[in-house]
Structure 1
Amino acid sequence: MTATAPEDADDVRRRRRVTVAIKESLRELSIQLSLLNHQVGAHVDLKDVDFYCLDLINRYGPLSPSALARRAGLHPATMTGILDRLQRGGWVIRERDPDAADRRAVTVRALRDRNGELHRLYSGMNASMDQICAGYTDAELELLADFLHRTTHAGQGATDQLAAG
């Protein structure tokens, strides 16, 4: 999908305004989702960083603690404390990795027992998202999904660049 080139200065200004509005809306969305996640985490007694690591484990796990630390951009020693809290809370389990050369190696796996609590806490947002999506055509939803996927990929690239130094 390619955009058409602006035809005149008014088109350029209009496009710039819309682009800025999109960027501002994404910043506002990021803040609002962070606040929502903070409230959900508070309801289940998880610190923000613990909650984000749990989400990474749920999405990409099981993971080794070092792989999780890399994905989260955290120091491995910090990860140990996070995993201790998540395990005490009944969110994850550490299991020995039988295939690893180092017999001390473990993987971290999310326990699904408490997922119902999270689904309940997000139910309001999920219902709102369903209502919003219902107002769009299939083609519009595909366009939005592509935009969000590409924006997420760009954010991941920028994060990786900053993490690399």
Structure 2
Amino acid sequence: MSSIESGGRRRSVTGIKGSLRALRNQLSLLNHQVGARLELRDGDLDCLELVLEHGPLTPSALARRAGLHPATVTGILDRLQRGGWVARERDPEGTDRRAVLVRALKDRSAELYGLYAGMSTAMDDLLADYDEEQLALLADFLRRTTEAGRAATEDLGRQG
């Protein structure tokens, strides 16, 4: 590889990393605005999103996925339940009578998704410009980037 090619590649890689940081910041701001509209703290919204994506979950499974202490998750679940976002239900497969699952309540979920409608429409418009092969490449990149982020998070958690 020539120094021109390596310099161009280095600039591209640096640009992609910078764009990912900018995207993370912008999505964080969007999530903060959504949370403020719904009167949810950032951590509460994060946990609600995890329940919507992976639920129903036990509180301990939610704590692991969120990287939070179980006592912190208990407080978050109390607020989400009071707000009508989630329900705690007895775990039918639990060996302990106290075992519960946290389930998102669908009627409130529509309110949440409505606030993301503008971003969803913008993404649909943006992605319409890409062909199937390009979309597959983007999907693979985002999946692998998410996995790299998950691994880095777990590594930091083990160090702490």
Is TM > 0.5 for Structure 1 vs Structure 2? yes
Task: Show the counterpart of 2:102.
Answer: 108
Cα distance in 2, alignment partners of residues 145 and 97 from structure 1: 35
Comparing 31-40 and 97-106, the one that deviates more? 97-106
Cα distance in 2, alignment partners of residues 99 and 144 from structure 1: 39
Number of aligned residues = 159
Structure 1 residue 164: Cα displacement: 1.5
Cα distance in 2, alignment partners of residues 75 and 115 from structure 1: 25
Task: Show the counterpart of 1:140.
Answer: 134
Cα distance in 2, alignment partners of residues 60 and 113 from structure 1: 18
The 4+ residue runs of structure 1 with deviation greater than 4 A are: none
Task: Show the counterpart of 1:26.
Answer: 20
What amino acid is the match of 1:87?
A: Q
What amino acid is the match of 1:76?
A: P
Name the TM-score, length of structure 2 as normaliser. 0.97
Q: Percent identity of the aligned residues?
A: 61
Cα distance in 1, alignment partners of residues 75 and 17 from structure 2: 35
Residues 116-161 of structure 1 show CA distances to partners (whole Å, capped at 9, x for unaligned) of 2122211111111111101111111111111111100100110111
Taking structure 1 as reference, are residues 21 and 59 closer, same or farther at Cα in structure 2, changes over 3 Å only?
same
Task: Show the counterpart of 1:3.
Answer: none
Comparing 24-33 and 89-98, the one that deviates more? 89-98
Task: Show the counterpart of 1:156.
Answer: 150
Ranges in structure 2 where 5+ consecutive residues have no aligned partner: none
Task: Show the counterpart of 1:12.
Answer: 6
Matches within 5 A, 1:1-165: 7-165=1-159
Cα distance in 2, alignment partners of residues 134 and 44 from structure 1: 30
Cα distance in 2, alignment partners of residues 125 and 75 from structure 1: 31
Name the TM-score, length of structure 1 as normaliser. 0.94
Cα RMSD of the aligned pairs, angstroms, is 0.8
Comparing 42-51 and 110-119, the one that deviates more? 110-119
